[in-house]
Amino acid sequence: MDDKQAPPPSVPAAAPSPSPAPSASAAPSAPAAPSASAAPAASAGPSDSPAASAGGLLGRWAAVAASARAAGRRLAASAPARAAARLWAHPPRWVIPVVSVAVVLVTVLAGYQVLAGGSGEQAPPTAWTGPSTAASASTPAGPHPSASPVKRADDLALVCEGLYYPKSPRYAGRAPHQISVGVTDSLTGGPHRMRAALDIPHSLTKPLRDAWLPSDPTKSQLVACLTLTKNGTAIKKCDTLQLARGVYTLSLYEVATGRRLMQKQLFGDAATCPNVVPVGAGPTLPSTVSDKVLYQQLKNFVVAPR
């Protein structure tokens, strides 16, 4: 018999017990609704609501306005503001005239702008802005020619005003040279009064006398202009009027060219009271230049050959 011991019989492993069926109390419960405190927090970014944006802007503007008011109160309490308030309450004397002038200038400039059409363009020049180029070209300075010839003695008075007559005879050739004399003895101006005759020496020959006493003004070569410029020192009383020493300018012109041949100052030597007082004469009458003095000043131009 075999002495080897037989192995013990193997015990079969216990089968796993089936898991007990879950009871009603052990059934899984439904997930609870999140509470208000458990709600997710709002993001920190800007809100998409228009009302929220408007509210934020209003808040910022309110803060800016408050800062501005505070700055204004600080500025009003400063020394410059107090000085400005005192200046406004008691302005200096020059303020009102300066402001008035400024208002007038602004008004004038505004009217000028309106005349210009409001477009910022310069308004067309008016007559008071000065002579235009065309006007200056048509009326040159100095003597200017007459379109018509001399017809009567009064036409020669215009030579004293700067007119000349190109068709008149030139101051040239053999003597004598015919002359006409114009006089104005009023300080208010006016045209020169042409003398019809001068008191000249009776010993002159007929050609010389005719040159001094022209019967035909169209043949005059020279015009002498005697112009009162001022009243000098008092001489004497003529009733209720005062006779003063007249101061004159004597000028000599060539009729055909307007060229001035001579000019000098003369004093009235005829210190006699006039028989007739001119209409409109003032309280002072000037003494006049005698024909003798005029003859002495002008004779060399009449008798000298050219």
Please tell me the predicted confidence (pLDDT) of residue 158: 96
Q: Given this model, what pLDDT does residue 30 score?
A: 44
Answer whether residue 4 shows pLDDT above 90: no
* Mean pLDDT value of segment 68-95: 70
Residue 27: pLDDT band by 50, 70, 90 thresholds? Answer: very low
Q: Which residues contact 192 (CB under 8 A, 6 or more apart)?
A: 157, 160, 161, 182, 183, 184, 225, 226, 227
User: Phi then psi for 176, rounded to 5 degrees?
Assistant: -85, 160
> Lowest-pLDDT range, 78-92, 198-212, 233-247?
78-92
Q: How far is CA 247 from the centre of its chain?
A: 39
Q: How many helices (H) and strands (E) does the chain have?
A: 7, 8
- C-beta pairs of 267-274 under 8 Å, 24+ apart in sequence: 267/232, 269/293, 271/235, 271/236, 271/243, 271/245, 273/236, 273/238, 273/239, 273/243, 274/238
Does 140 score more than 50 pLDDT?
Answer: no
**Residue bearing the bigger pLDDT, 114 or 198:** 198
Tokens 């009733």 appear where?
239
Instruction: Please give the mean pLDDT across all residues of the chain.
Output: 76
Q: Own/partner pairs for 270-276, CB < 8 Å, 24+ apart?
A: 271/235, 271/236, 271/243, 271/245, 273/236, 273/238, 273/239, 273/243, 274/238
Residue 23 has pLDDT above 60, yes or no: no
| Nearest Cα to Cα of residue 198 among 267, 297, 265, 275 | 297
Q: Identify the burial level of 143 via C-beta atoms within 10 angstroms of its C-beta, where 0-12 means exposed, 13-18 middle and 19 or more buried.
A: middle
Question: What's the confidence (pLDDT) of residue 56?
Answer: 72
278: tokens are: 């001119």
What pLDDT is attached to residue 235? Answer: 95
Tell which wins on pLDDT, 246 or 20. Answer: 246
Please, which residues bridge with residue 304 across strands? none
Can you read off the two tokens belonging to residue 100? 């008035």
3-state secondary structure 122-174: CCCCCHHHCCCHHHHHHCCCCCEECCCCCCCHHHHHHHHHCEECCCCCCCCCC
| Phi/psi of residue 6, nearest 5 degrees | -75, 140
State the average pLDDT over residues 72-79.
Answer: 68
Please state, in angstroms and as integers, the Cα–Cα distance from residue 69 to each residue in 66, 73, 80, following that order. Answer: 5, 6, 18
Q: What is the pLDDT of residue 190?
A: 81
Question: Residue 213 — φ and ψ, nearest 5°?
Answer: -120, 75
Out of 57-61, 102-106, 267-271, the most confident range is 267-271
**Per-residue model confidence (pLDDT) at position 24:** 40
Query: What's the pTM value of the predicted model, to 2 decimals?
Result: 0.54
pLDDT tens digits, one per residue of 180-218: 999 998 888 788 999 988 999 999 999 999 999 999 999
Asked whether 223 and 265 are in contact (CB, 8 A), the reply is no
What is the pLDDT at residue 157? 96
Which comes out higher in pLDDT, residue 66 or 272? 272
pLDDT tens-digit map of 262-301: 999 999 999 998 888 776 677 899 999 999 999 999 999 9
